[in-house]
Chain A
Amino acid sequence: MSQVNVPLAGHSTDLTVGPAFSIPTKKLAMWLFIIADTMTFAACLLAYGFLRNGAANWPRPFHSITNVAVMTLILLTSSLTMLFGLRAARAGDKSAAFRWTMVTAALGIVFALLHIREWLALIHEGMTLFQNPWGNGLFGASFFSITGLHLTHVTGGVIALLAVGLRYRAGRYNADDVEVLSLYWHFVDLVWMFVVPLVYLLNLSH
């Protein structure tokens, strides 16, 4: 007799079997990770808000919205291609699911490259973690921390997309695994929706 089937005194066995909220365990684990990661990003953005609110002479180093607008477009589009990949996987169309997953990974790589290019441009202008030519030195620390944390998530997501896509094509993973990964990728997109206004648009020099 397995342990799962042992009735607990005074408790219905319905409470002890089956995944919580009737969703698969892997998916629930990803949701719990997403909730925890939401707290991490929220804490970072709030800390940035505290600094920006409390510090005098906060710099506004961004002259153009072109780069951040293109990055936003790429990330939103990658969410759409991820959805197409998931729908194809659910329909059992392996080649389409693999193709869309790889397109999503490619968009993630383009996003990361644009982000790194922006970092290098700011570093070239004299911005470091603790000083910059425009004003309060804490701007660099908060900017690199928040965008760096997001970029780390994007990089991790791209690696996961490549790994899951290849394994899905090889038959080692199924549509549920693609769905779990898609949750993560959409979360990375969702976080960017808050990073853009707080870190970029509020620091535009008009």
Chain B
Amino acid sequence: MTAAEATKSNGMKKDIAIYVCLLILAAFQFVIAFQNISSSQMLIRMLVVACAEAALAALFFMHLWTEKRGFLLFVAIFTVFVILGMQFGWTDSSRMVVGAPYSTTEK
């Protein structure tokens, strides 16, 4: 086996290992769906697993891990910052159910 073939073989082994990890994490999401817990707990657990899956896929399948650290930081910080920025509206969403705080007319 030549050096190039050995490198390719090792790379494919790593790819398969990441693939198996992703399958296990995906299966874990399905297990969570059948747990006897509240919807909010289920949502949090599923999102944590989904974030782990996304990190694995981005770092190793999309080869972000081998890019320059500056680029990795750029993608991570920009994406996380904007997604966190979108969370401002949850209070409005809850208000649709429980009513706006301090807006009651009751004395």
Contacts and interface: CB of A to CB of B under 8 A. Distances in A.
Main secondary structure of the interface of B (DSSP, over half): helix
Contacts of B94: 53-54
Contacts of B53: 190, 193
Interface residues of A, number: 44
Contacts, number: 124
B57 A193 contact: yes
* Interface size range on B against A: 35 or more
B12 interface: yes
B43 interface: yes
Contacts of B57: 79, 186, 189-190, 193
B92 A31 contact: no
B15 A80 contact: yes
Interface of B: 4-5, 8, 11-12, 15-16, 19, 22-23, 26, 29-30, 32-34, 39, 42-43, 46-47, 49-50, 53-54, 57-58, 61-62, 67-68, 70-71, 74-75, 78-79, 82-83, 86-87, 89-90, 92-97
Interface of A: 21-23, 31, 35, 38-39, 42-43, 46, 49-51, 53-56, 65, 69, 72-73, 76-77, 79-80, 83-84, 87, 91, 182-183, 186-187, 189-190, 193-194, 196-198, 201-202, 204, 206
